[in-house]
Structure 1
Amino acid sequence: MTDTRVVTATAGPEPVRRSRWWSWPLLSAPVAWLVFVVLHRVLSGRVWWWQVPELVPPLAFAVLPVLLLAVALPARRARGWIAAVTLASLVLGAGLSGLNPAALWHRAPPAPPGAITVFSWNTLYWDMVVGGETMPPPTGTPARDIDDFYRYLHDQKADVYLLQEYVYFGPDSKAIRVDDLARLRREFPGYHIATASELVTVSRFPIALQQGLDLRPWVSERRDAILPPDPGLPDFSAVKTLRTDVRVGGGSGNGGNGEKIVSFYNTHINSPVHAFPKGMDPRRLNRTQYERRQANLRALAADVERNPHPVVLAGDFNASPAMGILRLLPDRLVDATPVLGSLYPTSWDDRWPLWRIDWAFTTPDVTVHRYGLVWSEGLSDHSGQHLVISTSG
């Protein structure tokens, strides 16, 4: 007789589910980026110590959320909320990215007869590196010839030139006044010239008013620290915008004489990065630079708000699309960016374009018919801004 044994199987303990090692950073990265975007929206342009985060490339606000979502796709259980978080950061940051979707649909009206051509350009210390000039050129700047410099200006065929960095710099980083008026008059016969600080405006139209906007009423009690005296160019620190009112023909005009006044503001907002000390020194991003930038924009905004004439404002703002300090511009100014034909316009560095820091704005009674960023042909680290405008009313 054979014994039969019945063996009853019992369930063993369930295996412990272990999350993969990469799940935590995968899930936390989208949240961290959303927090950064929110903080940037709140703090950029409002507190001086946020200047370092402001240097993030603008395109990151559009590209990084997409990359985070793509990398997070393997996390199936959390995919829904990761998508929600990345979408929120994309929506909040899209306006900071420098993308110009209006280029896909915006069509400016054709320019009428008598339209005005404007060219704005940061010249990179004028003709500082020409020939036997004793002052050293800025680091990395290719040598250029003064004839090429003026040929480039003539090629723009502008009625009004708004030119920045009409200045030299010595080895001690001190500004040195430029006097190239005789050559300018030879190159542009019949044009009218206005200068202030490091700015020069050359106009085919008669100049009714020229005025450098003084920053000093808009700075804090630390005025001497913010605007140090500079014997080589006394107004270099205090004047960063040149207003030039010109008389242009056509329209009902002022005084019934067929002319009207148009105000051109030629501006160079202070950089957030101080030129001295050199190298990766945190002192280059400091409160003083921030207060200079604020004072510059406040002086500009106050003058524009009081100005009853049509306004064209263009220049080097030293502000990327991600920098909130541009909110200090008056609300009545209209950004000309939609007229640009580029989805991602860049103006700096002209040799290796990264982002845009050169801008153009107008009041609503000025129509921008054409707007383009013009390569500097190696003459500067900034692209030029070429506009065709007309005024109404």
Structure 2
Amino acid sequence: MDPDSVSPRPWRSTGPRLLAGAVGLWAVFLLLDFLAGGRWWFWLIPGLAPPLLFLAVPVALLAVACTAPAAPVRRWLVPAVVALLLAGLPRTGLNWSALLPGSAPAGAGPALSVFSWNTEYWDTTDDPEAFYRFLRARDADVYLLQEYLAWVRETHTEVRELDRIRREFPGHQVVVTGELVTLSRFPVLATPPVGPAVAPDAPWEETFTRRKVLRTDLDVHGRTVSFYNVHVPVQVDTRESVFGGGFYRVVREADAARREQFTALERDAAANPNPLLIAGDFNTSPAMADLDPLRARFDDARSASGDLYPGSWGGVLGADWWRLDWAFTNHAVAVRHYAFVDDLGMSDHRGQDLRISLRS
């Protein structure tokens, strides 16, 4: 008796439909991600998903498709899932260069050490002595620090520790705008404004809200090098309920603020003839298209990292599943070393440790 003439098994009747439906849903999600990412404010919400989802979902679908008992199902579903896997790989944040042996890129002159870090409310939630001891231990030539502020009575508040910062880093010049602090062992030549116009005497709250990029031009061994200290606004307010209109209003407003900062940064850096480094907390994961213009024009420091999946934020199940902190350079700067540094419990972000050199 032909086994297929007997009543069909449950898999043969419903399994292919369920699998095809799952593949179709994932294909629709990918299509929406490519079309809406970086263009539609609402897509900032799906963009919060862990980037490894772009690997885990198609791999799971591929595993099921490869074990499907019906050969016709395998013949068309397996290639479809492989195509979806390849399409989503750039969004995973995987660092393929970590698998390739290679030497550090060459540069002219000695290496410079750079440390970029979102401090999470400076030292106001930590032991101040431990906080400054941690920063000094990095012994960086240039520090790009974010969140030089406090959280008081449910709002961001200015802190005033410039005298202490200068005492703690006597060999560094200090540049501050809003919540951004840049420390440099090299002479500061200029601090060209980037982004919306803000009056020099504007209240701190206005500067904090509108100035999210601090450009500092430094004299590095006789060459002008631009360092961009960046903190792109976060896209959601976790205090708001997703069932209330306030949550979505915040997302719309955040999208407008983020676009303004990204556009200003991209334009300024693209027109800058100097060797440059852009680093900070972008509140943007590899799965989000917001970073695509920067990634297309500048070099991601990730290629100098030995981590297959560099993550800087999250702390879920003992791992940082999101990379929200980034560093980019133009071709005049070679990144010799790039790694995320343990924050020792003083922040929800890991620090970015870099060694760079200038190409001739």
How does the TM-score come out when normalised to structure 1?
0.82
Conserved? CA contact 1:196–1:212, under 8 Å:
no
Conserved? CA contact 1:165–1:199, under 8 Å:
yes
Conserved? CA contact 1:107–1:339, under 8 Å:
no
Determine the structure 1 residue equivalent to 2:188: 207
> How do 1:73-152 residues align onto structure 2 when only pairs under 5 Å count?
73-77=67-71, 78-105=73-100, 106-109=102-105, 114-129=110-125, 144-152=126-134
Query: Following the alignment from structure 1 to structure 2, what is the Cα–Cα distance between the partners of residues 263 and 199?
Result: 15
Matched, 1:383 2:350: yes
Conserved? CA contact 2:106–2:359, under 8 Å:
no
Conserved? CA contact 1:121–1:316, under 8 Å:
yes
Matched, 1:301 2:266: yes
3-state SS, counterpart of residue 296 of structure 1: helix
Determine the structure 2 residue equivalent to 1:269: 232
Conserved? CA contact 1:304–1:330, under 8 Å:
no
Query: Following the alignment from structure 1 to structure 2, what is the Cα–Cα distance between the partners of residues 349 and 280?
Result: 24
Q: Which amino acid aligns with 1:388?
A: R
Query: Following the alignment from structure 2 to structure 1, what is the Cα–Cα distance between the partners of residues 131 and 154?
Result: 26
Q: Which amino acid aligns with 2:342?
A: W
Q: 1:193 aligns with which of 149, 174, 183?
A: 174
Matched, 1:178 2:159: yes
| Distance 1:308-1:187 versus aligned 2 partners, 3 A rule | same
In structure 1, the gaps of 5 or more residues are: 1-13, 130-143, 218-229, 250-258
How does the TM-score come out when normalised to structure 2?
0.89
Q: Which amino acid aligns with 2:210?
A: A
3-state SS, counterpart of residue 61 of structure 1: helix
Determine the structure 2 residue equivalent to 1:223: none
Between structure 1 and structure 2, the one with the greater Rg is 1
Q: Which amino acid aligns with 2:68?
A: P
Higher helix share: 2
Q: CA offset at residue 214 of structure 1? A: 2.8
Q: Which amino acid aligns with 2:311?
A: T
Q: CA offset at residue 354 of structure 1? A: 1.6
Conserved? CA contact 1:248–1:262, under 8 Å:
yes
Query: Following the alignment from structure 1 to structure 2, what is the Cα–Cα distance between the partners of residues 278 and 23?
Result: 38
| Distance 1:36-1:278 versus aligned 2 partners, 3 A rule | closer
Count of aligned pairs:
344
| Distance 1:282-1:317 versus aligned 2 partners, 3 A rule | farther
Matched, 1:48 2:44: no
Q: CA offset at residue 201 of structure 1? A: 0.2
Conserved? CA contact 1:247–1:262, under 8 Å:
yes
Q: Which amino acid aligns with 2:323?
A: R
The list of structure 1 runs, each at least 4 consecutive aligned residues, that deviate by more than 6 angstroms after superposition, is: none
